[in-house]
């Protein structure tokens, strides 16, 4: 009898150790699975946010083109040198007209936070208001290299109407984050998101506007327009990246679209 009891006590000890080991392994596995799921969710959120930043880049590209066509916003005092001025030998009427135009811009700027639309189209774009054309060579960036369908010349260059690089999404929304009481860590994390865009004038195209007015009539209007291919990228830079560094993004999402603007 005593021998059986002793053997049973030994078996109970071994069984307890085995169960403890199994429970420890299960607990460790659950911790690993939970950590992996958390990291996966964070990565998914980062990809989603980068996608939204890329969409924002396309919106900014379209806004730029529209502003250039209807008149870009300028500071009439700071940007006065970039505004068209009468050349040597200008007539008295031309000098007077330019002075009146500048006075008008300054008056509008006072009532509009220091900015006014530069609507003078007497000088060709990009000095004056006009239709952006391909006058700039596309610079070599991670965003530009992510598009394989760009038409290049014999030298391997691509001409674009505009290219804007390394705009910081975190700095754009920082006033909102601060007003919502976001921590410094959250603000620094959002500053890792950057965007870039460029646009290519692909030629004339038919602009069609359709809609129904408040009257009992409907309209279908076709007129000549200009087509642009818009390319935008959202970046997520690695932790600790300088604000002026955008060469090696951790996540890069490229998007493109086509818009036709009325001429």
pLDDT, tens digit, for every residue of 162-185? 999 999 999 999 999 999 999 999
Least confident range from 5-14, 21-30, 251-260: namely 5-14
The 10 Å CB-count burial string (b at 16+, else e) for 48-58 is ebbeebbbbbb
Domain boundaries, the chain: 2-71+130-262, 72-129
Q: What is the mean pLDDT of residues 132-151?
A: 93
Q: Which residue has the higher pLDDT, 41 or 127?
A: 127
Does residue 64 carry a pLDDT above 70? yes
Least confident range from 76-85, 106-115, 169-178, 191-200: namely 76-85
C-alpha to C-alpha distance for 246 and 70, rounded to whole angstroms: 32
> First vs last Cα of the chain: how many Å apart?
105
Does residue 100 carry a pLDDT above 90? no
Does residue 220 carry a pLDDT above 60? no
The pLDDT score that the predictor gives to residue 206 is: 79
202 sits in which H/E element: strand 193-212
The pLDDT score that the predictor gives to residue 210 is: 59
Q: What is the mean pLDDT of residues 99-127?
A: 86
Does residue 214 carry a pLDDT above 50? no
* β-sheet bridge partners, residue 117: 73
Does residue 3 carry a pLDDT above 60? no
The pLDDT score that the predictor gives to residue 10 is: 63
Q: What is the mean pLDDT of residues 40-63?
A: 90
Average per-residue pLDDT for the chain: 83
The verdict on pTM exceeding 0.85 is no
Q: What is the DSSP letter of 45?
A: H
Q: What is the mean pLDDT of residues 228-244?
A: 93
- The shares of helix, strand and coil residues in the chain, as percent rounded to the nearest 5, are 45, 25, 30
Least confident range from 5-9, 151-155, 189-193, 259-263: namely 5-9
The pLDDT score that the predictor gives to residue 141 is: 94
Does residue 259 carry a pLDDT above 60? yes
Does residue 41 carry a pLDDT above 80? no
Q: Which residue has the higher pLDDT, 123 or 141?
A: 141
- What are the CA-CA distances from residue 256 to residues 63, 148, 201, 227 (Å)? 15, 12, 14, 13
Counting residues of the chain whose pLDDT is more than 90, the rounded percentage is 43
The pLDDT score that the predictor gives to residue 230 is: 97
């Amino acid at each position: 009898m005593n021998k059986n009891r002793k053997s049973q006590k030994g078996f109970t000890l071994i069984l307890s150790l085995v169960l403890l080991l199994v429970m420890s392994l299960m607990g460790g596995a659950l911790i690993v699975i939970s950590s992996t799921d958390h990291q996966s969710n964070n990565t998914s959120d980062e990809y989603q946010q980068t996608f939204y930043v890329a969409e924002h880049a396309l919106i900014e590209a379209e806004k730029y083109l529209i502003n250039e066509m209807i008149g870009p916003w300028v500071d009439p005092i700071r940007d006065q040198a970039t505004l068209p001025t009468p050349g040597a030998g200008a007539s008295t009427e031309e000098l007077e007209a330019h002075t009146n135009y500048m006075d008008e811009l300054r008056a509008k700027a006072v009532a509009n936070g220091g900015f006014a639309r530069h609507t003078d189209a007497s000088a060709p774009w990009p000095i004056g208001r006009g239709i952006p054309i391909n006058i700039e060579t596309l610079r070599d960036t991670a965003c530009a290299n992510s598009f394989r369908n760009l038409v290049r010349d014999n030298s391997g260059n691509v001409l674009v109407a505009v290219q804007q690089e390394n705009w910081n999404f975190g700095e754009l929304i920082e006033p909102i984050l601060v007003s919502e009481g976001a921590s410094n860590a959250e603000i620094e994390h959002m500053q890792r998101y950057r965007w870039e865009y460029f646009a290519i004038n692909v030629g004339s195209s038919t602009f069609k506007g359709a809609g129904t007015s408040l009257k009992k009539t409907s309209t279908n209007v076709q007129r000549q327009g200009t087509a642009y291919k818009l390319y935008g990228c959202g970046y997520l830079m690695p932790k600790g990246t300088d604000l002026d560094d955008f060469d090696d993004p951790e996540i890069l999402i490229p998007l493109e679209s086509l818009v036709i603007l009325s001429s």
